[in-house]
Amino acid sequence: MTLAEITRAAVLEAIAEFDRLGRDEFLRSTGFGRSRSYYLQYRGRLYDSKAIAGYAHGVSTGTALTAADFSGGDKTVAQRLGALGFDVRYLPNPDWTRDEIVLACALVEANDWKQLDRMDGRVKDLSELLQTPAIHSMDHRGPDFRNSAGVARKTADIATSHPAYLGKKTNGNRLDREVLDDFLARPAEMHALAAAIRSALGNAENYEAGPDPDVAELTADEGGVLLRQHLRRERNPKIRRAKIADAKRRGMPIACEICGFDFARTYGPRGTDYIECHHRTPLHVSGPTKTRLEDLALICSNCHRMIHRTKPWLTVEELRHIVTTR
């Protein structure tokens, strides 16, 4: 039995049966588990590639394939379906970001450091929250992305990483233990951070159509929900104009408050009145608040990136100390 015997018409019949039964019943009846990476995409819907191929083989030859028959793996199935003219997408679940783990850890801490069940209402609520497009693009996720089972599994990864846990540990990642350690050392601060992340995720204005290069570069293994919101506030042209006008009224130069760089001095008229604004207090510290001019600092692009390059973010004064001592 080979995948070459599968016809396009048979695949379309498998898709129709999948639609008729629904995903869970189709997988149960064919004996397949959920796909982990490869999905057939047809008319805007995603289908588990191996289960579709196994059923289609039965339509084509009279003998359906079982999960044990696929020695070649998902990629081999994807190649055959692609050869038949179907669109097959590779959609592995993305690694959990630090922001997501902070929210999951907050649940575990509130549950006396015990994992939560997938049917728990708190798990379902977090699952729905993480499925918003603020962290991961809608175009790069499979049908099981951050579902309740996945969230519950992450709470198990965190709970079994606790120093007091004596049982067998699950296979979490490095960030699970880092976030756990942060909660153990600074519980109040971490709960405030979790609340700020929840607020940002629940605000539709924080969703962006495409990736933000600043966030991607400055928060390699975090997630950047609060940084994205922080930068959006700083990019507000009204706030920036008001801060520059206030500096001029007080006779201050339009130059970086950290290193002294003056765009006009270097670039001439092209650089006149060019400077970036930085909110001195991060959102997870200040919480939702109206921006005051005294909350802002005028800084150059380089210093701005250095402030946000790693966590914890540096203050204006801390970065100025680094510059002056150099």
Q: Give the pLDDT confidence of 48-101 residue by residue, as tens digits.
A: 999 999 999 999 999 999 988 886 667 889 999 999 999 999 999 899 999 999
Task: Return the pLDDT at 196.
Answer: 86
Burial of 291 by CB count in 10 Å (0-12 exposed, 13-18 middle, 19+ buried)? middle
* Count of Cβ atoms closer than 10 Å to residue 163 Cβ: 10
Where are the strands (E) in 170-293, listed by range?
A: 276-279
Largest CA distance in the chain: 85
In this prediction, residue 222 has a pLDDT band, given cuts at 50, 70 and 90, of very low
Question: Above 90 in pLDDT, residue 137?
Answer: no
**DSSP letter, residue 262:** -
Task: Return the pLDDT at 171.
Answer: 87
What ranges in 235-277 are assigned the alpha helix state H?
237-249, 263-267
Task: Return the pLDDT at 209.
Answer: 43
* Count of Cβ atoms closer than 10 Å to residue 182 Cβ: 17
Task: Return the pLDDT at 217.
Answer: 52
Q: Find all residues with CB under 8 Å of 221, minimum gap 6, and list them.
A: 97, 98, 175
pTM, two decimals, is: 0.72
